[in-house]
């Protein structure tokens, strides 16, 4: 077994280390989600934690790690008699992104259950992780139904596997750690809420710290065992501190005054439900135990809020992460002023939780590298939601440097680049989908063949049987009963009779936005509405688990503002800073989109694309720009790309160019008003189309 990197040798990353250690002290905290850019020691810290966990006693031969003193009465390998067992190190089990449901929860052999009446169960990763650590790298890329199963098991402390009336249950209590890079997409708020704590990590910008990180890593790579030996004393001391904190935890007192501060803080930040209050209480208690105290103080509550609330106050992917610390202090002070008794507001002189063990100072490893601010990521002001490009007077008609006539299509004289316009308020959009039946990644947009969904038919199994179609199996076996010598003992089923259920659900698509940023779209009020519509579509894509990309065109050419990604907030950030002005190279935008889709088809052939073109359809610049745009549109149509044109034309006189573009693309056109889910115009259009189809 390879030697893990010592936990105490990690430079900086105080919040990351503290969040992991608090869960080691009290697994009831609910795990930790680590968010940060690549190369910030996320995986290294998680793998290092396992070496600090105390050994566990298990029943010899039990595949589910039952405790000898109190074995699980429902253990599939049981029943076990209470007694002595064997000790082994706590496990760290890693869940790969591509894992199947059977690999996670375990596999029940349906064939043997039906044909032999044997309940044969092969444990999954949840059983392996019982009483240890379950680590999910890139948890945001895991399929939603797997994340649901994972978090349900973590919350209930047990895993249930039910297939065709055969049920297996086993204990599954583990320290859950997930890591993710926000650039690759966010988790849904419902899933974020299930993680107890969250920490944001980033690489330090201090030269000395970066030098120390490189020095230690090179030393470890050259001689892992020797490097670990130099940190053995620090590792042993930290391990002993974890054991002592666990022993102290049941004696820690959580006073009424502290509970009022917790409740007031959660109410001030308007978090949903009561899970945040419970997690804060458990975290504050663990912080007190970690500091060696038997009473929770106000600084414990403050530190608990910074770890437990940031991910719970996000309502959509466009909300800025982090917590307003001034607002936090105000809520804590108000709660302290209204408390009946004192004592809870006296902070510990050593600071919240006593901090994390000092880093540096190890033999031959250079100067000490830890301090109160080393590697910190506290920005204290991330709630402003982006950069404001102008005051309220800049967003309406008649703003300086703008002219608006008729529909507001005339830019300022000169047609040069104009300052970005803030997006209008997002709204709930109509359902846009790709026609036909796909087989892409699970999502919520277009119809697809999936592992989960309504049953639509049956087929012979290819490989292991996972979803039995009972009626089709009985129908296949029935004609052969006399030849198989059935004698009143029930239906005789053989492997050839088994039928796999085929199911239909929803898939996520690649939604590629092609946005017209030319002068004809540049009136501030109009562009604000257009950006608001695209923001709304981005929010819809986030909720439906799509990948998104952004192509813009203006002036003489088009550019890929954002390559296809699962991070819709990155697309929103690019859209906010999008400049406008110049001519309308519509054909260039469509051809650039064609190049993007061609590459994406090679990378992920199963993910179907939806092209959303946001324009008024006015093509200018070059020789015969309208004909070139039509040819580019027909190129997409010839390849069967599903498309929608959002018609941004306004004013009394309308040329209908966007509708013509939609016909060239072989798609449909909707106006900005019709894009709204509650639009009366859109409802009338749908009813009319339905009547024509009938």
In which band, very low, low, confident or very high, does the pLDDT at 449 lie, cut at 50, 70 and 90? confident
CA distance 462 to 38: 38
Q: What is the pLDDT of residues 6-15, one digit of tens each?
A: 888 888 888 8
Q: Say whether both 470 and 530 belong to one domain.
A: no
Vertex 395, ends 527 and 620: CA angle to 5°?
30
Mean pLDDT to the nearest integer, 330-336: 81
Mean pLDDT to the nearest integer, 434-450: 86
> Could you tell me the maximum CA-CA distance found in the chain, to the nearest angstrom?
93
Mean pLDDT to the nearest integer, 490-516: 85
Q: What is the per-residue pLDDT for 92?
A: 85
Q: Taking 70 as the threshold, does the pLDDT of residue 96 lie above it?
A: yes
Q: Taking 80 as the threshold, does the pLDDT of residue 115 lie above it?
A: no
Any domain includes 606: yes
Whether residue 182 contacts residue 569, with contact meaning beta carbons closer than 8 Å, is answered with yes
Q: What is the pLDDT of residues 64-88, one digit of tens each?
A: 888 888 888 888 887 888 777 888 8
Residues 6+ apart with CB under 8 A from 532: 423, 424, 425, 426, 427
Q: What is the pLDDT of residues 354-383, one digit of tens each?
A: 455 544 444 444 434 443 344 333 444 433
Q: Taking 70 as the threshold, does the pLDDT of residue 403 lie above it?
A: no
Any domain includes 65: no
Whether residue 613 contacts residue 579, with contact meaning beta carbons closer than 8 Å, is answered with no
Residue 597's SS3 state is helix
Residues 6+ apart with CB under 8 A from 198: 19, 32, 33, 34, 35, 192, 307, 308, 310, 311
Q: Taking 90 as the threshold, does the pLDDT of residue 37 lie above it?
A: no
Model pTM? 0.66
List the single range of 9-23, 132-146, 356-370, 651-665 with lowest mean pLDDT: 356-370
Task: Give, in order, the Cα–Cα distances in Å from 643 to each of 510, 569, 636.
Answer: 11, 23, 9
- Between residues 374 and 36, the one the model is more confident about: 36
Q: At what angle do helices 625-638 and 586-603 cross, to 10 degrees?
A: 20
Whether residue 142 contacts residue 120, with contact meaning beta carbons closer than 8 Å, is answered with no
Task: Give, in order, the Cα–Cα distances in Å from 622 to each of 213, 478, 587, 636, 665.
Answer: 54, 72, 10, 21, 21
Mean pLDDT to the nearest integer, 15-24: 90
State the CATH number of the domain containing residue 330. 1.10.8.80
Q: What is the pLDDT of residues 522-532, one digit of tens each?
A: 666 778 888 88
Mean pLDDT to the nearest integer, 234-250: 92
Whether residue 354 contacts residue 292, with contact meaning beta carbons closer than 8 Å, is answered with yes
Residues 6+ apart with CB under 8 A from 457: 469, 501, 502
Residue 609's SS3 state is strand
Q: For the chain, first and last CA: distance in Å?
A: 68
Reading phi first (left if > 0) and then psi (alpha if -120 to 50, else beta), residue 131 is in left
Residues 6+ apart with CB under 8 A from 302: 328, 329, 332, 352
CA distance 532 to 672: 10
CA distance 363 to 360: 9
Any domain includes 273: yes
- Between residues 481 and 546, the one the model is more confident about: 546
Q: Say whether both 404 and 465 belong to one domain.
A: no
Q: What is the per-residue pLDDT for 286?
A: 94
CA distance 577 to 571: 10
Whether residue 40 contacts residue 389, with contact meaning beta carbons closer than 8 Å, is answered with no
Mean pLDDT to the nearest integer, 532-537: 88
Q: What is the per-residue pLDDT for 367?
A: 39
Which domain, by its residues, includes 326?
248-354
Q: Say whether both 402 and 523 belong to one domain.
A: yes
Q: Say whether both 514 and 503 belong to one domain.
A: no
Q: Taking 50 as the threshold, does the pLDDT of residue 394 lie above it?
A: no
Q: Taking 50 as the threshold, does the pLDDT of residue 445 lie above it?
A: yes
Residue 458's SS3 state is strand
CA-nearest of 66, 76, 90 to 177 is 90
In which band, very low, low, confident or very high, does the pLDDT at 547 lie, cut at 50, 70 and 90? confident
CA distance 34 to 200: 6
Any domain includes 522: yes
Q: What is the per-residue pLDDT for 417?
A: 59
Exposed (0-12), middle (13-18) or buried (19+): which is 239, by Cβ within 10 Å?
middle
Q: Say whether both 261 and 324 belong to one domain.
A: yes
Q: State the average pLDDT for the chain.
A: 79
Q: Say whether both 535 and 665 belong to one domain.
A: yes
List the single range of 279-288, 451-460, 500-509 with lowest mean pLDDT: 451-460
Whether residue 251 contacts residue 244, with contact meaning beta carbons closer than 8 Å, is answered with no
Mean pLDDT to the nearest integer, 622-648: 92
List the single range of 138-147, 179-188, 389-398 with lowest mean pLDDT: 389-398
Q: Say whether both 526 and 657 belong to one domain.
A: yes
CA distance 494 to 491: 10
Q: Say whether both 105 and 12 belong to one domain.
A: yes
CA-nearest of 170, 162, 74, 153 to 110 is 162
List the single range of 209-223, 310-324, 501-515 with lowest mean pLDDT: 310-324
List the single range of 50-54, 616-620, 642-646, 648-652 with lowest mean pLDDT: 648-652
- Which of residues 202, 232, 267 is at a domain's end? 202
Task: Give, in order, the Cα–Cα distances in Å from 488 to each of 116, 387, 482, 491, 492.
Answer: 16, 77, 11, 8, 10
Q: What is the pLDDT of residues 549-587, one digit of tens each?
A: 999 998 888 999 888 888 777 888 888 888 888 888 999
Residues 6+ apart with CB under 8 A from 213: 11, 12, 204
CA distance 279 to 19: 12
Q: Taking 80 as the threshold, does the pLDDT of residue 419 lie above it?
A: no
Peptide bond into 79 cis (omega under 30): yes
CA distance 31 to 348: 25
Tokens for 220?
A: 């470890």
Q: Say whether both 401 and 348 belong to one domain.
A: no
Q: What is the per-residue pLDDT for 463?
A: 73
Any domain includes 379: no
Per cent of the chain over pLDDT 90 is: 19
- What is the rounded (10 degree) CA torsion for 658, 660, 664, 667? 60
Any domain includes 676: yes
The structure tokens 């939603």 sit at: 144
Q: Say whether both 401 and 310 belong to one domain.
A: no
Strands (E), 225-290: none
Q: Say whether both 340 and 281 belong to one domain.
A: yes
State the CATH number of the domain containing residue 140. 3.40.50.300
Q: What is the per-residue pLDDT for 401?
A: 36
Q: Say whether both 413 and 318 belong to one domain.
A: no
Q: What is the per-residue pLDDT for 597?
A: 95
In which band, very low, low, confident or very high, does the pLDDT at 114 lie, cut at 50, 70 and 90? low
Residues 6+ apart with CB under 8 A from 443: 506, 507, 508, 509, 544, 545, 546
In which band, very low, low, confident or very high, does the pLDDT at 116 lie, cut at 50, 70 and 90? low
Q: Taking 80 as the threshold, does the pLDDT of residue 109 lie above it?
A: no
Q: What is the per-residue pLDDT for 399?
A: 36
List the single range of 182-186, 205-209, 582-586 with lowest mean pLDDT: 182-186
Q: Taking 70 as the threshold, does the pLDDT of residue 102 lie above it?
A: yes
Active site residues: 275
In which band, very low, low, confident or very high, does the pLDDT at 321 lie, cut at 50, 70 and 90? low
- Which of residues 167, 202, 237 is at a domain's end? 202
Cα torsion angle, 377, 382, 386, 387, sign: negative
CA distance 161 to 170: 9
State the CATH number of the domain containing residue 425. 3.40.50.410
Exposed (0-12), middle (13-18) or buried (19+): which is 425, by Cβ within 10 Å?
exposed
Q: How many domains, in total, are found in the chain?
A: 4
- Which of residues 354, 375, 404 is at a domain's end? 354
Any domain includes 430: yes
Any domain includes 360: no
DSSP H/E element including 538: helix 524-543
Q: What is the per-residue pLDDT for 681?
A: 47
DSSP H/E element including 47: helix 42-49
Mean pLDDT to the nearest integer, 175-203: 80
């Amino acid at each position: 077994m390879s030697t893990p990197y010592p936990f105490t040798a990690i430079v900086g990353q105080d919040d990351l280390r503290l969040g992991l250690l608090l869960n080691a002290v009290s697994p009831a905290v609910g795990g930790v989600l680590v968010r940060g850019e690549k190369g910030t020691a996320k995986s290294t810290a998680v793998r290092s934690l396992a070496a600090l966990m105390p050994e566990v006693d298990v029943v010899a031969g039990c595949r589910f790690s039952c405790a000898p003193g109190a074995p699980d009465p429902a253990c599939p390998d049981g029943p076990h008699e209470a007694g002595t067992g064997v000790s082994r190190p706590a496990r760290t089990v890693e869940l790969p992104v591509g894992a199947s449901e059977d690999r996670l929860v375990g596999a029940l052999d349906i064939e043997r259950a039906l044909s032999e009446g044997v309940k044969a169960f092969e444990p999954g990763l949840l059983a392996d992780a019982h009483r240890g650590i379950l680590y999910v790298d890139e948890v945001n890329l895991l399929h939603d139904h797997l994340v649901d199963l994972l978090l349900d098991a973590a919350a209930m402390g047990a895993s249930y596997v039910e297939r065709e009336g055969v049920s297996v249950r086993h204990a599954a209590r583990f320290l859950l750690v997930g890591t993710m890079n926000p650039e690759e997409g966010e988790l849904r708020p419902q899933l974020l809420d299930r993680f107890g704590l969250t920490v944001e990590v980033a690489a330090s910008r201090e030269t000395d710290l970066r030098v120390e990180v490189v020095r230690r890593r090179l030393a470890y790579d050259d001689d892992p065992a020797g490097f670990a030996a130099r940190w053995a004393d620090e590792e042993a001391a930290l391990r002993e501190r974890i054991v002592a904190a666990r022993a102290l935890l049941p004696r820690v007192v959580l006073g009424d005054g502290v509970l009022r501060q917790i409740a007031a803080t959660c109410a001030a930040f308007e978090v949903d439900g009561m899970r945040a209050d419970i997690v804060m209480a458990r975290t504050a208690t663990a912080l007190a135990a970690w500091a060696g105290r038997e009473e929770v103080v106000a600084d414990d509550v403050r530190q608990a809020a910074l770890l437990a609330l940031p991910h719970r106050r996000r309502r959509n992917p466009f909300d800025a992460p982090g917590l307003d610390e001034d607002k936090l202090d105000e809520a804590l002070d108000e709660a302290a002023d209204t408390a009946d008794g004192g004592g809870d507001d006296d902070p510990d002189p050593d600071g919240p939780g006593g901090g994390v063990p000092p880093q540096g100072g190890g033999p031959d490893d250079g100067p000490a590298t830890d301090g109160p601010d080393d590697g910190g990521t506290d920005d204290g002001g991330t709630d402003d939601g982006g950069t404001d490009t102008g005051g309220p007077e800049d967003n309406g008609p008649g703003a300086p440097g703008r002219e608006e006539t008729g529909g507001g299509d005339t830019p300022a004289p000169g047609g040069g680049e104009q300052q970005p316009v803030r997006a209008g308020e997002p709204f709930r959009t109509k359902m846009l989908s790709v026609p036909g039946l796909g087989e892409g990644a699970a999502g919520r947009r277009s119809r697809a063949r999936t592992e989960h969904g309504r049953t639509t038919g049956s087929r012979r199994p290819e490989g292991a049987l996972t979803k039995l179609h009972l009626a089709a199996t009985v129908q296949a076996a029935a004609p052969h009963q006399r030849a198989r010598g059935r004698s009143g003992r029930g239906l005789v089923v053989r492997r050839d009779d088994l039928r796999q259920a085929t199911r239909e659900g929803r898939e996520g698509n690649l939604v590629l936005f092609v946005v017209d940023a030319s002068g004809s779209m540049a009136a501030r009020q109009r562009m604000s509405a257009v950006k608001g519509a695209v923001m709304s579509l981005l929010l819809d894509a986030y909720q439906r688990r799509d990948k998104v990309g952004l192509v813009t065109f203006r002036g003489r050419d088009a550019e890929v503002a954002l390559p296809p990604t699962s991070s819709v907030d990155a697309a929103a950030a690019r859209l906010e800073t999008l400049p406008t002005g110049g001519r309308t190279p519509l054909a260039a935008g469509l051809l650039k989109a064609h190049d993007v889709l061609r590459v994406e088809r090679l990378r992920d052939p199963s993910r179907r694309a939806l092209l959303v073109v946001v324009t008024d359809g006015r093509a200018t610049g070059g020789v015969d720009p309208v004909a070139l745009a039509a040819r580019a549109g027909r190129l997409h149509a010839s390849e069967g790309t599903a498309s929608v044109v959002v018609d941004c034309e306004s004013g009394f006189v309308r040329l209908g160019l966007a509708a013509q573009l939609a016909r060239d693309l072989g798609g449909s056109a909707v106006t900005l008003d019709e894009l709204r889910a509650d639009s009366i115009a859109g409802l009338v259009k749908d009813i009319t189309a339905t009547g024509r189809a009938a």
